[in-house]
Structures are given as structure tokens and as C-alpha cells.
Amino acid sequence: MTEAEQAREEVAEFQKRIGALREEIGRVIVGNREVIDGVLSCMLGSSHALLEGVPGLGKTMLVRTLAGVLGLDFSRIQFTPDLMPADIIGTVVLDEGAGGARSLEFRRGPVFANIVLADEINRATPKTQSALLEAMQEHRVTVGRSTHTIGEPYFVLATQNPLEMEGTYPLPEAQLDRFFYKLSVPFPTRDELHAIIDRTTTTQHNEVKRVVTREQILQMQALVRRVPVARHVQDYAIRVLQATHPTGEEAPELVKRFVRTGASPRGAQAMLLGAKVRALFDGRFAASIDDVKATALSALRHRVLLSFEGEAEGVSPDTVISEILKKLPGSKE
């Protein structure tokens, strides 16, 4: 078997596993295909996802289901205004051994799991939110002088309520940037609502089973990194990124007027990694411009900061990014 044939098989296997994951999650979660794909993309891109939506749309249920089908260690942190950083990362306690000898021992917090659900992350103060920063970026936690590594794969899924809601603290910009995608959970359609009601108000009970192993997830993550990207596709992602900056050469008028700061380079990384995952979802061997376009909203909406005028005029980052995609041709003329 040639190497190319082997690669084909790997891609086919990837598609099969994704299909199984989607099917198993679909047994519990109704609709929301784009959100499910977005969450899976974040996990396969070895990064983290931020889900936003009003309470009751099944954000937490989605994450719990995902943890179930992946069969990984899972912990849930309910963020509240009085939550402290030590409640998340853990703390050092004085431990008395059998012989009366005392020693300091680090008790790991809930952040030490493969999948961490940070529920309603914007209910906690910025100080506590920031406690997740190192864990998310470095996959390790430093307490005092010692550093504790978190096992792979590591995936933080945070949910938040829309910022307009009372009693919420906006996430610090540095932390927002750490999230691969920000996914908006839409309100279900009428048919979806029927299905939700049927599943939740009757005796019908859907249990999910594990469909991939930890090793398989790591293999899938590695495959994503190996997907090649043609120069023109990469160039397109960079141009989209540059156009989010008011000083960008190809920035449309809307950006110049309403954007304070454009997306960081992590935005381009997220777009391209997301495009690679999407190519594999479709069984293709390379990412395309269409893939970049499809990922741009989720990858950039939390990285584009509107100016005060933009906020006052009610312009959303989604409008700005859609305008960029509309104005930017696929190939530079």
C-alpha cells in the first residue's frame, strides 16, 4: 500500500468516526448541527470552545453528552460571583501522614480533567476567569513554585450568557482570544422543539455510549495538523484577518468606522485549523477557501472588538465579518 493510499484510509477512518460521534450526540441533542460540528472542530483543533446563548438552550447538555461519547475524564465548574481561583485550579493542604509526619500536598482542582465544562463562565469575576488562562494555553497549572501538567487531550468548553444580561462580567480580551471558536447557540425551530419536548417529557431516555477512545482522539488531532493548506487558501485567511483591522489595506468602510481592534494572529490560526477539520469532515485532503469562509464567523466574532460608536449603533461583530467576506474576493484581482 502506498503512502497516499494509507492517507486516504486515514481520512476515511476519520470520517467514519466523526459520523459515529455525530450520530451518538444526535441521540440526545436535537438539531444544532453547526454547533455540534463547531465543538468537535475545536476539540480536533486541540483548542477550546466558548458557547453563547440564553439559558435553557441545551449548552450544558451538549457538553455532557460530548464527554459521554468521548469517554474522557470530565469535570464541571459552575461559575458564580463568589468562586475563587483556588476552587478551580486546586490548593495546597497540610497533610498528616501515618507517623505524624506533616507535608504539604497539592489537591488538584476540577481543572485537571480531559474535558472541563466551565458553565456560565461570565458569572464569575475576571480574576477567577483568568485562573483558567494558563491551563487553557499551556495545559499546565502553576501553584507556588511547582507546575502540574494536565493530561492530553485537554479541552475546555465554556458556556456564557449574552453580555447584555444583568449580573455578568465580560471575559477579559486575553482570555477570549484563547478560545478557538465562539459559537452562538440558536433558538430551536418548531420541529426541533417538538423533538425536544418528546424526548424530555416522556419516559423516552437516551443513553449515549462511548464511540472513540482517547488514543483515537489523539490520532484524529494529529491528522488534522497534517492536512496541507495551499498557499492561496492561507493567503485568503490572512487577508480576511488583516481586513478586520481598521488600518488594514482591504478593510471595508464598516470596519474602518466601527471596529476598534481587529483579530489577533490566533484568529488566522483558528480559521485555518478549522478549515482543515472541515475538509476532513467532507473527506477532502486539503483545506479550501470555502472552508475558511465557513469558519471565519466562529473564529473571529470574539476577536473583533467594536469601537464605542459600533456598539452604540448596534453593529455586531457578525455583521462586520460577513461584510468582510462579502467584499473580499476569493482570489486577489
Q: Which residues bind other proteins (CB under 8 A)?
A: 2-8, 11, 81, 125, 164, 166-170, 226-228, 230-233, 279, 282, 284-291, 307-309, 311-314, 330-333
The C-alpha cell that represents 94 in the structure block: 497540610
Beta-carbon contacts of 167 under 8 Å, excluding residues fewer than 6 positions away, are 81, 123
Q: Which is nearer to other proteins, 152 or 191 (CB)?
A: 152
Q: How far is the CB of 170 from other proteins (least distance, A)?
A: 8
Residue type, 244: T
Instruction: Tell me the sheet residues that pair with 107.
Output: 91
Contact at 8 Å (CB) between 133 and 123?
Answer: no
State the nearest-atom distance from the C-beta of 166 to other proteins, in Å: 6
Give me the least distance between CB of 330 and other proteins, in Å please: 6
In angstroms, what is the minimal distance from the CB of 236 to other proteins?
A: 10
With contact defined as beta carbons under 8 Å apart, do 90 and 72 qualify? no
Query: Of 319, 314, 264, 270, which Cα lies nearest the Cα of 295?
Result: 270
Toward other proteins, which CB reaches closer, 42 or 223?
223
113 SS3 class: coil
Min separation Cβ 322 and other proteins, Å: 19
Cβ atoms 35, 62 nearer than 8 A = yes
CA distances from 172 to 81, 127, 321 (A): 15, 9, 21
CB of 222 to other proteins, least distance (A): 12
What is the dihedral sign for C-alpha 10, 11, 15, 21?
A: positive
By C-beta, is 32 or 288 nearer to other proteins? 288
Residue 6 or 200: which CB sits closer to other proteins?
6
In the complex, minimum distance from the CB of residue 81 to other proteins, in angstroms, rounded to a whole number: 7
- Which residue, 64 or 278, is less far from other proteins as judged by CB? 278
Cell of 127: 480574576
Least distance (Å) between residue 282 CB and other proteins: 7
| Number of helices followed by number of strands (H, E) in the chain | 15, 11
Q: Which is nearer to other proteins, 29 or 136 (CB)?
A: 136
**Nearer to other proteins (CB atom), residue 30 or residue 223:** 223
Nearest distance, CB of residue 230 and other proteins, angstroms: 4
> CB-based contacts of 6: which residues, under 8 Å, 6+ apart?
none
Residue with cell 475576571: 126
Query: Where does residue 237 fall: left (phi above 0), alpha (psi -120 to 50 degrees), or beta otherwise?
Result: alpha
Of 168 and 216, the one with the shorter C-beta distance to other proteins is 168
Residue 273 is which amino acid? L
Nearer to other proteins, 2 or 202 (CB): 2
Instruction: Tell me the C-alpha distance between 267 and 173, whole Å.
Output: 13
CB 178 within 8 A of CB 133: yes
Which triple of cell numbers denotes residue 293?
Answer: 469562509
